[in-house]
Structure 1
Amino acid sequence: MNSRPPEEEEDDEHGEVFLDESDIIHEVNVDEEDLPDVDESGSDAEFSEEPDDSMHIFTGHTGELYTVACSPTDATLVSTGGGDDKGFLWRVGQGDWAFELQGHKDSVSSLAFSTDGQLLASGSLDGIIQIWDIALGNLKCTLDGPSGGIEWVRWHPRGHLVLAGSEDSTVWMWNADRASYLNMFSGHGSSVTCGDFTPDGKTICTGSDDATLRIWNPKGGENIHVVRGHPYHTEGLTCLAISSDSSLALTGSKDSSVHIVNITTGKVVSSLVSHSDSIECIGLAPSSPWAATGGMDQKLIIWDLQHSSPRSTCDHEDGVGCLTWLGGSRFVATGCVDGKVRVWDSLSGDCVRTFTGHSDAIQSVSASANGDFLVSVSLDGTARAFEIGEFR
């Protein structure tokens, strides 16, 4: 696993280059009056004047980045994927090491580590999922079946079963240890944009661009419930989160609404209506009955699920594309279209930290297992790690 991308910078945190006197070839005297005026109003000036708060930058990719996953068991191990058809494994603080996830023929759109941290699944718009053995540092197997691009990959909470949703409106499940196909869940009428196993591992929930949520039995493959029509979403689903007791599914949609569904009955039990544009991300607080939702209306809303009411509204300067709760703490991090990563105190609704460094929209954020780092990936082609140890 010693391969190293040619684009990777030398092992220097800030990429600084120090010159010796002997390196100077010849000096040029410049008359200041000859220099062009600096345009203070230019957009480039905005980005270049801001400090770079990152403690590590990964520059191995040669295109836009779409997805990041931090290992659940190894505090410095990170995987990133993007539009250069590549995925990489790399370590925060070790700029001289990277392992390329080779073989995908289209953008790497989704990455997920198994719960035990032993395996990594990389899903691509080529419709293929590759499973990587972390300890051995090699490709374990390739899983295929879907005829459309992979939208997301998830692992069973207690085993090496992989679930994936495709643009071809199907959902597939495989056993990664045996590289064997287990089930295909068919019924959605459009791209399956979100989905997951329930935390107890007994049920599967999937959301689609067809504005429905489907609840499935993983063993038999049958469809238990279809949630659709009034009072549910009127446009495609974009994101989904499942409560820790496996009883409720929260879904967000392009229609700007969030609905809570009882997984057992398939009934909509509550609606969270405060956003005014497409919901892009949703996350449940690990240690309290709260949810966080982010949208293109430039808002992060913290919800009290017991009362289905907003606790606080956190205003951004641009759309909120991704979020994550930081461990079991009260803090939420958001990745924004303006290229900034912000940390919010869910109790007060205050922004307690803004991390700058990216020059384009943030696509995904992930926190390290020990809570020391937050890694963000951006359309600017870089992944950046920020120190978040103070937000525990």
Structure 2
Amino acid sequence: MITNSVSHPPDRIWKCVRTIKGHSDWVRSLAISPDGETLASGSFDGTIKLWRLTSGELIHTLSEHSKGVFCVALSNDGQTIASGSWDETIKVWQPKTQHAIRTLSGHCGSVRAIAISPDNQTLFSASTDATIKLWHIKTGKLIDTLISSPEPIYAIALSHYQKLPSQVGQIDRQILACGGGDGLITLWALDTREQVGVLTGNLNQVWAIAIAPDNQRLACASGDGTIKIWHIKTGEIFHVLQGHSRQVTSVVIHPDGHPLISGGADGTIKIWDMETGKQLCTLSGDSPNSVISVAISPSNHTLASGYVDGKIKIWQRY
């Protein structure tokens, strides 16, 4: 079912075209390959599954984690898959193999979020042990450990390679944002690995973070049922998006900067205009199950959503 909040042109009409069944537990994370051909799903059933996005055909099942999978990420070149688990490890895979080429150990809590750098050299992992770890992907070597607070970290996001404001002027640097149990979002400069800011004003858990392509705006999915959008330079909140009736579990921004997509425990996906903060439409499936993860294709025409019942829905824009 699709409910449009106002009258919209055809390019904002989305339809569920496929329901994929294969996981036996929560689909906690989704990622779409840069070419838009492959969907990766990570589940609490302990597996990562690779699917053909256009047909829903299962390609591979990766099943070497000993506990549930919280997060999955794909590299920009499509050659690396990384997964983080309740078993406190990160595994690195290649798309054409069904066995992990590397297991990264060092966290003493579940690995809740991961990200791969745009140059495909560094992997970032966030854990309930309140640390973020930086790893060299090719060697598996631990590069550094960042500690921002004593609270568990649930979400991380990397900025894009552009010039970002800093405390010492305009310099070329990349920012890592993290958030978790204390509701704060901490900003790290990766060239110095120092904190360069803290975004405040969110009073509930941060479940997901996304940074817009302009590197000026950051969105977070909050346990209070809202999505907050900050201006990174000033630290000010300039939009609070309200519409979900329960906690917001996931948020993504298309690489073009529009739209913003959120998934919620209320069983809905909402699509928002980043500039105005207006809700464009609401997507809801044929069951009341919570939406735990969302992903959008590079073409901006396909959405994937993961649910607590183990299903994945594919949505097409018409």
TM bucket (normalised to shorter chain) is 0.7 to 0.9
1:371 to 287, 296, 300: 300
Is 1:345 matched up with 2:273? yes
Alpha-carbon shift at residue 222 of structure 1 (Å): 1.8
Unaligned runs of 5+ in 2: 4-11, 162-172
**Structure 2 match to 1:202:** 121
Separation of aligned partners in 1, 2:198 and 2:149 = 10
* 8 Å contact kept, 2:261–2:272: yes
Give the number of the structure with larger relative contact order, counting CA–CA contacts within 8 Å between residues 6 or more apart: 2
Separation of aligned partners in 2, 1:131 and 1:315 = 33
Separation of aligned partners in 1, 2:47 and 2:312 = 24
**Structure 2 match to 1:68:** none
Is 1:385 matched up with 2:304? no
Unaligned runs of 5+ in 1: 1-12, 15-46, 48-52, 61-79, 88-104
**Structure 1 match to 2:235:** 308
Deviations 1:360-380 (A, max 9, x none): 433233334433454545558
For the structure 1 residues 373 and 224, does the alpha-carbon distance in structure 2 shift closer, same or farther, using more than 3 Å as the test? Answer: closer
Separation of aligned partners in 2, 1:351 and 1:287 = 21
For the structure 1 residues 320 and 221, does the alpha-carbon distance in structure 2 shift closer, same or farther, using more than 3 Å as the test? Answer: same
For the structure 1 residues 318 and 217, does the alpha-carbon distance in structure 2 shift closer, same or farther, using more than 3 Å as the test? Answer: same
For the structure 1 residues 323 and 223, does the alpha-carbon distance in structure 2 shift closer, same or farther, using more than 3 Å as the test? Answer: same
TM-score (norm 1): 0.65
Alpha-carbon shift at residue 290 of structure 1 (Å): 1.0
* 8 Å contact kept, 2:30–2:294: no
Alpha-carbon shift at residue 227 of structure 1 (Å): 1.1
Is 1:292 matched up with 2:219? yes
Within a 5 Å distance, the mapping from 1:1-392 to structure 2 comes to: 56-57=15-16, 60=19, 80=20, 86-87=22-23, 108-131=27-50, 142-179=61-98, 181-228=100-147, 232-245=148-161, 247-316=174-243, 317-355=245-283, 359-379=288-308, 383=313, 385=315, 387=317
Separation of aligned partners in 1, 2:312 and 2:89 = 32
Separation of aligned partners in 2, 1:233 and 1:186 = 21
* 8 Å contact kept, 2:248–2:264: yes
Separation of aligned partners in 1, 2:88 and 2:220 = 25
TM-score (norm 2): 0.78
Separation of aligned partners in 1, 2:111 and 2:312 = 28
Separation of aligned partners in 1, 2:314 and 2:65 = 32
Matching residue's letter, 2:15: H
Alpha-carbon shift at residue 205 of structure 1 (Å): 0.5
Q: Which has the higher strand share?
A: 2
**Structure 1 match to 2:164:** none
Alpha-carbon shift at residue 312 of structure 1 (Å): 1.9
User: Sequence identity of aligned pairs in percent?
Assistant: 26
Matching residue's letter, 1:367: I
Deviating more after overlay: 117-126 vs 279-288: 117-126
**Count of matched residue positions in the alignment of Structure 1 and Structure 2:** 296
Deviating more after overlay: 235-244 vs 283-292: 283-292
* 8 Å contact kept, 2:30–2:295: no
Separation of aligned partners in 2, 1:106 and 1:204 = 26
